[in-house]
Structure 1
Amino acid sequence: MPKRKTKHATNGVCLERNWSELPQEILHLFSKKLPDISDFIRFRAVCKRWHFSAPVTDPPRQLPWLLEFREGGPEEDCENAIIRFYCLSSGKVHTIFCPGSRPARLKGPAFRYLLASHSTSYQKYLLNPLTHDEIWTPWVNVCGSPDYIGPDTIEGGDIVVISGDAEVGNYFELEDMGEYDPGPNIMAFWRPGADDWVYVEGAGNSANAFYMGQYFSNDEETGITNVIDIATKKLAYQVAPPESTNPLLKGYTLMVESGGKILRLFQYYEAEECHFDIYCLYFGDGEGKPCWVKIADIGDQMLFMQYYRGLSFSASNFSGFKGNCIYFLKEGKYLCRYDIGDGTTEVLPCPFDSVTTWFVPSLV
């Protein structure tokens, strides 16, 4: 263990101080300030005292990592067990050998686990690329992407929510023959340990969010937001679409839970420069009916969006980051940051030519 010499403030005497003897409560505070979980791992490896002062069950808050897209079909995926992440907070690229990723396509956005889809059997499982933990799910008859993978604030533990077309037969075989006819759009959720997925029809087909036991989904054709209660599996209520500020410009809708609120974003893709309209779900219009209200800022929140869904974090918990902005992926290869305050977009440095999804790392 290296020792650091410090000069006494009054008599100039040089003293040797052993950093391993720092109080554990001070070491714990140090560990909570580390912006990159890789630094947290190194911190725990210094000595036994540092190790026990930084339990893996109480790590520092982490911003999501960006997962690099892996080229190739099933055969090439089977030969590649290397996955790479870009950590926005530290600017580091983390290369991880993860055998469980070898035969799979990985999807998010997600907390702790990515949703892996086996390249040949198409069976789905949860994969933590840092711990290599795998949790295989029952067969799910939905061909779609995950809307939410993370803590279940109502039941405890984790929950996986996905939506898409109901699978009718083998999607890949039927598509190759030009005979694939998608079934109705449905939502399915599963909690690890459950015997099967729970299916709910009537979900939207584009932007989706999950919060406090309720599933919010946007119908792309009507713009109506359907809100489904997970416990009853029934439609709780519907919300009319907001009025577009510029109906002549085309774009797409995104949805995310942010700071305990449900936000609906509309990103214009035909404008010369990127622009977002932002709405918050509001329940006090005088008649008790929920409605979308346009807002000009989101406070200190930072949104990390991917396609129609995303994640949200408070900038005050991360040194060097400012709130009221949206990080998003443009054309699958550009990492951009949209400043809601002044309406400008900045292309950020990213070491990958193509990216896949956001992933919040965890050691448990």
Structure 2
Amino acid sequence: MGEPPGKTGRRDAGGTAPAVEDRWTQLPPELLPLICKKLPDSADFVRFRTVCSAWRDAAPLSDVPPQLPWVVERRGSAFQARAHFRFYSPSSGRTYGVRGYGGRSWLVMGGACQEHLVTTVDLSTTALYNPLTGERLALPPAPYPQWRHGVVHVVAAGRRRGGAPLVVNASTRTGHFGYCRQGDTKWTLVDGRQDMGHRAYHGGRFYVNTNAQETLVIDASTGAVESVLPPPPRSADAGAGVSCGDYLVESRGKLIRAVLFPRDGVVTTSAEDYYLNVYQLQEDGKAAAAWAKVESVGDSVLFFDKHGHGFSLEPNGAAELKRDCVYFMHEKRTWLDAGEYRFLCRYNMETGEVDRVVSLPDTFGDTWVVPGLCPSE
């Protein structure tokens, strides 16, 4: 957003500002919320609120319009020290930096929960951290040291949908995982199988995909496997191709599964070479739960990061949050210069194609965070 005209008005020959009415601050109050909802980036929302008190009142922090998430700078080494966090906004093409808390901070691999990052200080204290408000939600100590080689991420809805976030600590070496909520003093451990992949929390249960494309249904209170769902039906265009990703996310009270395939069935050479098969869990109580293929996700926008963590947002055309679309990360490696390039891709369910690709800066692209400006009550 540019500077309001009334803030930088011309001066007369005597050096005094003319008594010109500030037209921006005199806009009809009913127009301000409409303008606010058209802002393309969270940083513009902050600037909007600084114009005057009338504009600030029209843009409460509790009613920030849906925005395209910011991409988080990925870490370099296993425990890279950093005094600040950096984010890239695909909407504006700008990079933002926010100083971390407690001096030197470490971003735990794959850690993001909408507006919170999963961070650890001095390799000991772990917390969910909102980099824009400074809010910290403490987590229990990791159950044993080898979990530092695992992935910490959040699989449940955050407080935007009510309730405390559910944090999952998954070991990439042993297949075990544990979970906790804010206020818990320890992790609840689930002894899993070695072939467990991406997971989601839905209706008091964990749904975990396996290497065989089955889905384990695990009671979150006992850790017991209640049932095993068969693999979803493969479409004719999938052929015998091997999937590039198998993701789970809860959206509008429904559990959604998205399976990413290369179009030629073997390998993808560009971000446009992908297609998605999307399924919804059918659970009517009369028959066994099963995956059913769907051609649309309706008024939802789905996101999946490199680690399989997914979430759903409401559409907002002004912020390029297009309905019935799925956003994912594409990674391209080149042997010539040993380079690694990341792209943000948008898959359009209506056309069945990737219709937008954003090249990300070199050090960004593992996960993303939804800028959150409203502190917890």
| TM-score, normalized by the shorter chain, greater than 0.5 | yes
- Which runs of structure 2 are paired with 1:62-73 in the superposition (5 Å)? 62-72=67-77
Could you tell me the percent identity over the aligned residues? 30
Match of 1:188 among 178, 194, 215: 178
- Residue 67 of structure 2 aligns to a residue in which SS? coil
Deviation of 1:232 (Å): 5.2
What is the distance in 2 between the residues matched to 1:216 and 1:236?
10
- Residue 57 of structure 1 aligns to a residue in which SS? helix
Match of 1:259 among 252, 257, 267: 252
Deviations 1:56-113 (A, max 9, x none): 2232222211112243454xx33x3243222233333323333458430243342121
The structure-2 alpha-carbon separation of the partners of 1:2 and 1:136, relative to structure 1 and needing over 3 Å to count, comes to same
Amino acid at match of 2:280: C
Q: Which has the higher contact order (CA 8 A, sep 6+)?
A: 2
- Which runs of structure 2 are paired with 1:189-338 in the superposition (5 Å)? 189-202=179-192, 205-220=196-211, 222-231=212-221, 233-245=223-235, 246=238, 248-251=240-243, 252-269=245-262, 270-271=266-267, 273-284=273-284, 287-307=286-306, 308-316=308-316, 318=318, 320-331=320-331, 333-338=342-347
Match of 2:171 among 164, 174, 194: 164
- 227-236 vs 348-357, which moves further: 227-236
**Residue aligning to 1:358:** 368
- 155-164 vs 273-282, which moves further: 155-164
Q: Which sections of structure 2, spanning at least 5 residues, go unmatched?
A: 8-19, 332-340
- Residue 185 of structure 2 aligns to a residue in which SS? coil
Deviation of 1:271 (Å): 4.5
Deviation of 1:292 (Å): 0.7
For the 8 Å contact 2:303–2:311, the answer to whether it is kept is yes
The structure-2 alpha-carbon separation of the partners of 1:100 and 1:348, relative to structure 1 and needing over 3 Å to count, comes to farther
Matched positions, count: 331
**Residue aligning to 1:127:** 129
**Residue aligning to 2:11:** none
The structure-2 alpha-carbon separation of the partners of 1:87 and 1:290, relative to structure 1 and needing over 3 Å to count, comes to same
The structure-2 alpha-carbon separation of the partners of 1:73 and 1:214, relative to structure 1 and needing over 3 Å to count, comes to closer
TM value normalised by structure 1: 0.77
For the 8 Å contact 1:148–1:162, the answer to whether it is kept is no
Deviation of 1:42 (Å): 1.5
For the 8 Å contact 1:154–1:212, the answer to whether it is kept is no
Q: CA RMSD in A?
A: 3.2
Q: Which sections of structure 1, spanning at least 5 residues, go unmatched?
A: 5-14, 166-181
**Residue aligning to 2:53:** 48
- Residue 333 of structure 1 aligns to a residue in which SS? strand
Amino acid at match of 1:89: S
**Residue aligning to 1:176:** none
1:116 aligns with 2:109: no
Deviation of 1:28 (Å): 4.3
Deviations 1:142-191 (A, max 9, x none): 432314264268972333233335xxxxxxxxxxxxxxxx54x3332222
For the 8 Å contact 2:84–2:105, the answer to whether it is kept is no
Deviations 1:290-309 (A, max 9, x none): 11111222234322211323
For the 8 Å contact 2:67–2:321, the answer to whether it is kept is no
The structure-2 alpha-carbon separation of the partners of 1:39 and 1:139, relative to structure 1 and needing over 3 Å to count, comes to same
